[in-house]
Structure 1
Amino acid sequence: MFVVTAADPGTGERDGCLVGFATQTSIDPFRFLVCLSRRNRTCRTAEAAAVLAVHVLGQDEDQRELAALFGARTGDDVDKFARCSWRPGPEGVPLLSAARRHLAGRVLERVDLGDHVGFLLDPIEVAGDGGAAPLTFRSLPDLEPGHQAG
């Protein structure tokens, strides 16, 4: 599971959400694809963003809390960034302090994938340790999504 964050450079609006659809798409040059639901407020923010950040969550309790914040709450109702520690990254994209690994990537393409939009990223910053086991869909706590899928 990943948390994707975005910042709209025109409005300064920030948002982020929990995502499960993401994959490396190329080795040379390295490319990464992350998919955001069209119903999600983060998708609307990402449409204007030059850079997105993809955070890899671990199994620790603080990581599960991030998953719950970004997976069960919607930016339509709550400022998620007021409830967690973060810092600005490249192009102002929020980088979550508690996430031990992240990739910040320049958006190369936006691809219509039905009820999701695929954002093809060219990594410009990759950071973190590889030691902690990642948080997976099966290890996620039961969450009621902020927006319904589809």
Structure 2
Amino acid sequence: MPAEEAGRDVGEAFDGAVAAAASAMVVVTVAVDGEPSGCLVGFHSQCSIAPRRYAVWLSKANRTYEMAVQADHVAVHFLTTGDAALAGRFGGSTGDVVDKFAGLAWQPGPGGVPLLDDAPHRLVLVRVGMFDPGGDHTCLVGAPIDAGTGDGFTPLRLPDVTRIEPGHDADERRHRS
């Protein structure tokens, strides 16, 4: 039974528990017909051991979400504490207005997915499904076909990026469930 039905508000406690977990931040990239798109994401996780699967939750307000629906491949770039500028580039503007890839070093990977030169800790996934639970984000699940790791790293975490103003507010959902 949802907490609202139980007559209690768990919003503040929920937010506190999630904030304490301090999610690692990633940049998700896709391409459709050679056009790249990418966004900063804090909702992501391995979601299966066998077979290996990884899930990313994309905001429905985001251009990258619209392109991911059409794309077969997606890259998940794990950001380090030295990647604050990259997080700002992909989280603080919208691809509807700004070319986030202008002047950025990247290479096309499998299926044309953009691989960011300065973010070597990454997964390349083939999309195997999407799940929309009716909120402001949709889950994309992918099977890994490539992975890159450099040396060990300290991840950039949600508390490190709270000053970035999002390119879209959560209430700007383009697609209603």
TM-score in terms of structure 1 length: 0.93
Q: Of 127, 147, 150, which aligns to 2:168?
A: 147
Q: String of CA shifts for 1:49-102, please: whole Å, max 9, x gaps.
A: 000000000001xx1111000000111111111131100001000001101201
Letter in 2 for 1:34: V
For residues 37 and 4 of structure 1, the distance between their equivalents in structure 2, rounded to whole angstroms, comes to 11
Q: Could you list the runs of 5+ residues in structure 1 that have no partner in the other structure? A: none
1:100 aligns to what? 120
Q: Of 34, 37, 46, which aligns to 1:24?
A: 46
For residues 68 and 142 of structure 2, the distance between their equivalents in structure 1, rounded to whole angstroms, comes to 12
1:51 aligns to what? 73
For residues 77 and 44 of structure 1, the distance between their equivalents in structure 2, rounded to whole angstroms, comes to 15
Q: Of 30, 33, 44, which aligns to 1:6?
A: 30
Q: Of 117, 123, 127, which aligns to 2:144?
A: 123
1:85 aligns to what? 105
For residues 100 and 119 of structure 1, the distance between their equivalents in structure 2, rounded to whole angstroms, comes to 21
Q: Of 39, 55, 60, which aligns to 1:38?
A: 60
Deviation at residue 141 of structure 1 after TM alignment: 5.5
Letter in 1 for 2:164: L
1:15 aligns to what? 37
Aligned pair count? Answer: 146
Deviation at residue 145 of structure 1 after TM alignment: 0.5
For residues 30 and 58 of structure 1, the distance between their equivalents in structure 2, rounded to whole angstroms, comes to 23
Greater share of strand: 1
Letter in 1 for 2:26: F
Letter in 2 for 1:79: D
Give secondary structure in 2 for the equivalent of 1:105.
Answer: strand
RMSD: 1.1
Instruction: Determine if contact 1:41/1:74 at 8 Å carries over to the other structure.
Output: yes
Larger Rg: 2
Deviation at residue 130 of structure 1 after TM alignment: 4.6
For residues 66 and 141 of structure 1, the distance between their equivalents in structure 2, rounded to whole angstroms, comes to 14
